[in-house]
Amino acid sequence: MKSFLKKSGWSDILVSIVFAIIGIFMIVKTDAALKIISYILGGMFIIIGIIKSIDYFASKGKYDFYNYDLIYGIIAIIIGLVTIFCSGLIESMLRIMISLWIIYSGLVRLSFSLKLRTAQLNMWSVSLILSIIMVIGGIYMLFQNGALVLTVGIIMLVYSVIDLIESAIFIKNVNELLQ
């Protein structure tokens, strides 16, 4: 159990580093970031759609109402095209998805800080403050309709730094939490 929890902490650190890199990119290259993200997501959907469509025809060779690969493929291709050509929509969706992730992560960290308090560890108050900041930042981003890519990048960078600190606290105290 201890090794699983430590691996989980290290994977959180990896996710935080990726978020930090994306956040920095969004701060430095605000205009290009949205287009690049839209193209990458759209391209991924189109590729998945093409693969699913090919799988349908290669495996069945006929229409089968129980096989949804063709429908899945067509929908994925349409989503990919919309993603590429409607980057403003992607900005809104990305803002919502990231803000919900930050709120969720902050609430998980809030629960973790209460466990630290129960275990009578000194770092619980720092963990509590950081988790509250994460939740507030996520809520702000969720309801701020005019949030620019720059704001999203800054919030992602702050989130990743807070999450790195929280993950380090978690890894350091995993032994005490299991007692």
52-96: pLDDT as tens digits: 888 888 776 555 554 677 888 899 999 999 988 887 777 777 778
Distances (CA, A) of 15 to 19, 97, 137, 143: 6, 15, 18, 24
CB count, 10 Å around CB of 2? 10
Q: Is residue 21's pLDDT more than 80? A: yes
Backbone phi, psi, residue 176, to 5°: -70, -30
What DSSP assignment string belongs to 74-111? HHHHHHHHHHHH-HHHHHHHHHHHHHHHHHHHHHHHHH
Please state the pTM of the whole predicted model: 0.52
pLDDT band at 117 (very low <50, low <70, confident <90, very high): confident
- Rg of the chain, C-alpha, whole Å: 20
Q: For the chain, what is the total number of helices (H) and then of strands (E)?
A: 6, 0
Note the pLDDT of residue 18. 83
With pLDDT > 70 as the criterion, what percentage of the chain qualifies? 85
